[in-house]
Amino acid sequence: MSKTQLVIIGGGISGSTIAKALKNKDIDIILIDKANYTLFQPLLKKVAVSTITPYSIATPYDSLLKSNNIKTILGEVTSIDKEKKEVFIKDKKIRYDYLVISSGLVPNIDSYTSWKEHLTTLKTLNDAINIKHKLLHFLEKLKNTQLTFSKNYITNFVIIGSGTKGVEFTSCLYDMFDNFFSQNKQINPSLVKIYLIEKKQTILPNHPTAVATYTYQHLTSKGITILTSTEITNINSEGIFFDKKFIKTNNIFWSAENVGSSYLDSLDANQSSSHTLIVDSELNISGHPEIFVIGDIANLLNEQGKILPKNCNLAKAQGKYVAYILKNRLFKNERPYFKYTNNCNVIALTKSYAIFSIKNFILKGKIAWMIWWCLNIYHIPGIKNKISIIFHSICSFLKIYPNTKLINLHIKQKNE
């Protein structure tokens, strides 16, 4: 009699949590991913601005999930047959008894065909490395070009989308430029301008109003221009158009809409407007208790009917919950409801400054910044990575950047 087979699509925080919890258990696990490593995405922005090295946030599956009952397959899922219990990778099909979908979201830039080539995304390790080299090339060019202040020489950087990721990347970008100008006082800081654009009425729309207000005040006090209730009408090689206005730039970073992958349509399951899968209180799609959906791809409501915030704490909690179900082979009617009561949020802003909130309590400043780093160090897998992140966070605080600002001349820069 063959063992029960579990297939996990995506090895992010939630998927890896399940696989680690079931190592050496009486269940065969197949993990499918497009890369041979798990990537800690919350710190991608730090790689992009040269605060940490790329390899500090990537852990190979061979070392993280070394076990006789776990097999990893490098590939991209094309479809799922939920009736036959099969997952397809191109021409290959894989049988499953249980399926965990934790493949995360992808930037929704395919919907904007004419804009796509002008947008830079920050979702993969390659994205972060390419952004890093583009920024470093720009700063080197700025150092070696004697420019006096003029509107014609201003370089604009535009971030579209002001969720947590957009706000934190904007803050990282500001810190990178601020450190550069403090070390190169002969260069006018007014040569660089940062814009954060949001189509909704406020930044951080899924966070408490007080947190959004503090964040807005902090960023604008640093000279960052925030445009809310702003609908973009066009993006081309010249720049970005909105409300009969125009910003000249070829530095446009997409941090707005993210959607589920197209293979999810083959499930014929209930989806939200952003193509995330609607799940029940046991993290299953309707009518299929053998299929679990977790992580960013899961559309799950809390007791107040609001969508749960997508963060590391939630992803890990979902992974532990599913691992418990599978470890104990609980039938649908035996499973407890998934409950998530951790309402804390931390947003890292500029200059070792962050905002920590839990329910009605808000903490701002360096202590909140330390909490932000501690949470990331806790969640990132691998002891070597934890040590590396601790080292680089200390260096960041002291404004020391060891071997993180190397430029590879062979990497071709977009828009150059």
The pLDDT tens digits for 189-233 are: 888 999 999 999 999 988 889 999 999 999 999 999 999 999 999
Give Cα separations from 299 to 33, 65, 260, 278 (angstroms). Answer: 21, 27, 11, 5
Pair type for strands 106-107 and 288-293: unpaired
- pLDDT-derived band at 404, boundaries 50, 70, 90: low
Mean pLDDT of the chain: 90
CA distance 95 to 326: 17
pLDDT of amino acid 114 = 87
What are the boundaries of each domain within the chain? 5-34+75-105+260-342, 116-257+345-397
- The whole-model pTM stands at 0.92
The per-residue pLDDT for 144 is: 79
Asked if the domains at 5-34+75-105+260-342 and 116-257+345-397 fall in one CATH topology, the answer is yes
Burial class (CB in 10 A: 0-12, 13-18, 19+), 80: buried
Strand-pair partners of 101: 9, 293
8 A C-beta contact, residue 128 and residue 46: no
Q: 149: pLDDT confidence band, cut at 50, 70 and 90?
A: very low
Q: Can you tell me which residue has the tokens 């919890």?
A: 21
* Rounded distance between C-alpha atoms, residue 227 and residue 345, angstroms: 24
According to DSSP, residue 137 is labeled H
Q: How confident is the model at residue 342 (pLDDT cuts 50, 70, 90)?
A: confident
Burial classification of residue 158, based on how many CB atoms lie within 10 Å of its CB (0-12 exposed, 13-18 middle, 19 or more buried)? buried
Measured between alpha carbons, how far is residue 61 from residues 56, 64, 125, 260, 352 in Å? 14, 5, 15, 23, 32
Residue closest to 66 by CA, chosen among 96, 31, 14: 31
Is 383 exposed, middle or buried, given 0-12, 13-18 or 19+ CB atoms closer than 10 A?
exposed
Position 398 confidence tier, pLDDT thresholds 50, 70, 90: confident
Cα 297 from Cα 314, distance rounded (Å): 12
Distance, CA of 254 to CA of 117 (rounded, Å)? 11
- 259-262 contacts at long range (C-beta below 8 A, 24 or more positions apart): 259/105, 259/106, 259/108, 260/103, 260/105, 260/106, 260/297, 261/77, 261/103, 261/106
Q: Which CATH code is given to the segment(s) 116-257+345-397?
A: 3.50.50.100
CB proximity list for 415: less than 8 A, separation 6 or greater: 118, 237, 250, 251
Span of 68-72, 108-112, 275-279, 408-412 with lowest mean pLDDT: 408-412
- Long-range Cβ contact pairs of 83-89 (< 8 A, separation 24 or more): 85/290, 87/7, 87/9, 87/32, 89/32
Mean pLDDT of the 319-346 span: 92
Backbone angles phi, psi at 168, to 5 degrees: -70, -35
Of 116-125, 160-169, 262-271, 335-344, which range is least confident? 335-344
pLDDT tens profile 77-111: 999 999 999 999 987 999 999 999 999 999 988 87
Residue type, 241: F
Percentage above 70 pLDDT, the chain? 93
> CATH fold of 5-34+75-105+260-342, please?
FAD/NAD(P)-binding domain (3.50.50)
Tokens of 138: 């720009």
Q: Are 16 and 319 in contact (CB under 8 A)?
A: yes
- Tell me whether strands 252-254 and 120-121 are parallel, antiparallel or unpaired: parallel
Report the chain's C-alpha Rg in angstroms: 22
